[in-house]
């Protein structure tokens, strides 16, 4: 019979005592990863998890999606394609 691997990982589940005295496994909340650039996958600057929406990402086209270097290339390409 295969081993139950679900409870072997201590990162996913935590043993917790209920008010009735029994022990149960509680799933731990997974943390969100830091925002990264869609093209080059580098971590984005000027972003944070908490606060107002204007504080969470830069207010420019593709802010919070692309880094500044990739945005320059993308805008140049769109101009070349349109003309
Ligand atoms: Zn990038």
Q: Give dist(CA 56, CA 54) in Å, integer.
A: 6
pTM over 0.75: no
What's the average model confidence in pLDDT over 49-62? 91
| pLDDT digits 0-9 by tens, 29-53 | 878 889 999 999 999 998 998 899 9
Between the CA of 9 and the centroid of ligand 1 the distance, in Å, is 34
Q: Give dist(CA 59, CA 49) in Å, integer.
A: 15
Protein residues placing their CB within 5 Å of the ion ligand 1: 37, 39-40, 67, 70
């Amino acid at each position: 019979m295969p081993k139950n691997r679900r409870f072997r990982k201590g990162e996913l589940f935590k043993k917790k005592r209920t008010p009735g005295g029994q022990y149960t496994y509680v799933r731990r909340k997974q943390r969100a990863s830091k925002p990264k650039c869609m093209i080059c996958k580098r971590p984005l600057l000027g972003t944070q998890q908490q606060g107002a929406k204007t504080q969470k990402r830069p207010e420019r086209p593709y802010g919070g999606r692309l880094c500044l270097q990739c945005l320059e290339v993308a805008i140049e390409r769109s101009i070349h394609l349109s003309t």
